Amino acid sequence: MSGRRAGGLLVAGTTSDAGKSVLTAGICRWLWRQGVRVAPFKAQNMSNNSAVVVGPDGRGGEIGRAQAMQAAAAGLAPDIRFNPVLLKPGSDLHSQVVLLGEAVDTVSAGSYRALRPKLAETVFATLDELRAEFDAVICEGAGSPAEINLRAGDFVNMGLARGARLPAIVVGDIDRGGVFAALFGTLALLSPEDQALLSGFVINKFRGDLGLLRPGLDMITGATGRPVHGVLPYDHDLWIDGEDSLAYGSTLGRPAPPVGRDWLRVAVVRLPRISNATDAEALATEPGVRVRLTGTPADLLDADLVVLPGSKSTVADLRWLRETGLADAVTAHAAAGKPVLGICGGFQMLSRVIHDDVESRDGTVPGLGLLPTEITFAPRKTLGLPSGSAFGAESVSGYEIHHGVVSAADENTRPFLHYGNGRPEGAIAGPVFGTHWHGAFESDGFRRRFLTEAARLSGRHGFTVAPDTSFATARARTLDRLADLVEEHLDTTALRHLIESGPPPGLPFIPPGAPA
């Protein structure tokens, strides 16, 4: 790369979950393996899956978890600049706004418009800073660039490309069907100025004989004057750290056969406002552990371990648990002596009482009463990267993102973990476990000890943990696989030219263009 202002690329998509996050990560990993100093960037993410970043001043901040994954792909520690605006939906109508890592406001769709100019100013200044520091910045769009109702004031998709003069490629998910219409329609609904930056296409999740697809590739190029830079195959192994990988009702990953004679069946409750459910991914890397995400009480009946994951709206999701009958199913599971695990918001739900004048503002509400703790929501969010010990594992680390704190507990409450300074964290009561730490199960020794205890409590005496499963290795293998797919299936020469030189001149306009 030259010494001028860094090259860049916008990876847009025909829809949400078309593959923007993983393609951005793959391009970052590919460039990093080529010796390029590359950084990821997503101007604005809307997700309750976030990662904690601790800056040089010791203060914690949040970015989208996908951008933390992309940073790892680029060989970097997470940085709040990689995702300057994060919207965390608390309901269908309101979202918390996180700006450069710090929660600054809660907005509705209407009030967000007034805040947008300030956010855009921060976004462009941050991108300029990164482009002065790195050789290349690979930007991920959001949703679709053809959301014509949102184009005015856009600083995430083509508004970002226009402002920073970035070439853009559009990725489409062929697994959904209609990919050629989606690619053509995306281009044709853009203004002439936006179309001048849209430089090519990528097709994602293809299964079958590529020769059967070839006529369509030639025709879409002929119809638009833009090349298809490659076709990525469907890969079942790309599920770790995928922002939208936890599909409703699905089994997570590809469970490996058990080491012992028994499987351990894990049911993760799919809360409406689920957050950081990627905690379950570490459990699913273990051979013989089948992790299923579900919203059905019946699925809890034959589970060995039930997990209540994090939530952006603890009290609202607790109410949903009761309305759906899942609360009764969780309580019955614990009453049978089988293990229940609550993480962050899930931990809070398991407590006796929740005092919330911050998030839901519902005041005092009863919890499920399975843990001898009370939770009080504090105005300021706890953000941190704790480490400590638990279950005899001396090295456990994770991250904390929560307003709720333990404000009272029975004097005989057993802690689940301990911070490095010995301070207790979380709670255990019989077969029920709770912690505010996300990511703790990525610590291999702790995960093995916990699953061994869960198997004992559930009567799965034939379950044996593998001695050598490494979550960090599994994550690195996923990132390298992404780079392999980019190298094997995309025109990397063309991509490199776009990143270094910008959009090619003379790209044809495809009518009708953006509506007047």
Average pLDDT over residues 473-498: 96
How do residues 204-235 score in pLDDT, each as one tens digit?
999 989 999 999 999 999 999 999 999 999 98
Average pLDDT over residues 160-182: 96
Q: Is 438 a catalytic residue?
A: yes
pLDDT at 216: 97
Task: Give CA–CA dist 481/453, Å, rounded.
Answer: 33
Nearest-10 Cα torsion for 25, 28, 34, 37 = -150
Structure-block tokens of residue 105:
């406001």
Which CATH topology does 264-465 take?
Answer: Rossmann fold (3.40.50)
Read off the pLDDT band of 240 (50, 70, 90).
Answer: confident
In Å, how far are 149, 173, 185, 221, 230 from 215, measured between CA atoms? 33, 18, 18, 10, 14
Average pLDDT, the chain: 93
pLDDT at 11: 98
Average pLDDT over residues 109-136: 92
- The fraction of the chain above a pLDDT of 90, given in percent, is 82
Judged on CB neighbours under 10 Å (0-12, 13-18, 19+), 25 is: buried
Point out the catalytic residue in the list 344, 402, 403, 489: 344
Point out the catalytic residue in the list 402, 403, 436, 438: 438
pLDDT at 5: 65
- The fraction of the chain above a pLDDT of 70, given in percent, is 97
Read off the pLDDT band of 243 (50, 70, 90).
Answer: low
Read off the pLDDT band of 146 (50, 70, 90).
Answer: very high
Looking only at the bridges linking them, the beta strands covering 310-311 and 168-173 are: unpaired
Task: Give CA–CA dist 274/40, Å, rounded.
Answer: 25
Task: Give CA–CA dist 351/333, Å, rounded.
Answer: 16
Taking alpha carbons only, the member of 429, 304, 422 closest to residue 367 is 429
**Bond before 89 cis per omega within 30 degrees:** no
Q: Above 50 in pLDDT, residue 408?
A: yes
Taking alpha carbons only, the member of 203, 199, 205, 204 closest to residue 217 is 203
Domain ranges of the chain: 8-238+476-501, 264-465
Residues sharing a CB contact under 8 Å with residue 100, sequence separation 6 or more, in sequence order: 61, 80, 81, 84, 122, 126
Assigned CATH for 8-238+476-501: 3.40.50.300
Neighbours of 219 (CB within 10 A): 12
Read off the pLDDT band of 248 (50, 70, 90).
Answer: very low
Task: Give CA–CA dist 426/443, Å, rounded.
Answer: 17
Q: Above 70 in pLDDT, residue 454?
A: yes
Average pLDDT over residues 58-71: 90
Nearest-10 Cα torsion for 294, 295, 299, 303 = 60
Q: How many helices (H) and strands (E) does the chain have?
A: 15, 28
First to last CA, the chain: 40
Task: Match 């994090």 to its residue by tokens.
Answer: 310
Looking only at the bridges linking them, the beta strands covering 274-275 and 198-206 are: unpaired
Instruction: State the DSSP code for 175.
Output: G
> Of all helices (H) and strands (E), which one includes residue 97?
strand 94-99
- C-beta separation of 83 from 101 below 8 A: no
How do residues 283-318 score in pLDDT, each as one tens digit?
999 999 999 999 999 999 999 999 999 999 999 999
Task: Give CA–CA dist 322/342, Å, rounded.
Answer: 16
Average pLDDT over residues 345-365: 95
The DSSP line for 228-245 is: EEEEEEP-TTTTTT-TT-
- C-beta separation of 52 from 211 below 8 A: no
Which of 191-200, 233-242, 414-423 has the lowest average pLDDT? 233-242
Instruction: State the DSSP code for 460.
Output: -
Residues sharing a CB contact under 8 Å with residue 136, sequence separation 6 or more, in sequence order: 1, 6, 7, 8, 9, 31, 36, 37, 38, 39, 499, 500
Task: Give CA–CA dist 68/256, Å, rounded.
Answer: 27
Q: Above 90 in pLDDT, residue 105?
A: no
pLDDT at 245: 45
Same fold yes or no, 8-238+476-501 and 264-465? yes
Taking alpha carbons only, the member of 339, 511, 365 closest to residue 432 is 339
> Of all helices (H) and strands (E), which one includes residue 113?
helix 109-133
Amino acid type, 154: D
How do residues 254-263 score in pLDDT, each as one tens digit?
899 999 999 9
The residue among 394 and 234 whose pLDDT is bigger is 234
> Of all helices (H) and strands (E), which one includes residue 331?
helix 326-335
- What is the pTM (predicted TM-score) of this model? 0.92
Which of 118-127, 411-420, 426-435 has the lowest average pLDDT? 411-420
Residues composing the chain: 516
Nearest-10 Cα torsion for 496, 499, 501, 507 = 100
In Å, how far are 238, 261, 301 from 210, measured between CA atoms? 20, 41, 44
* Maximum Cα–Cα distance across the chain: 74
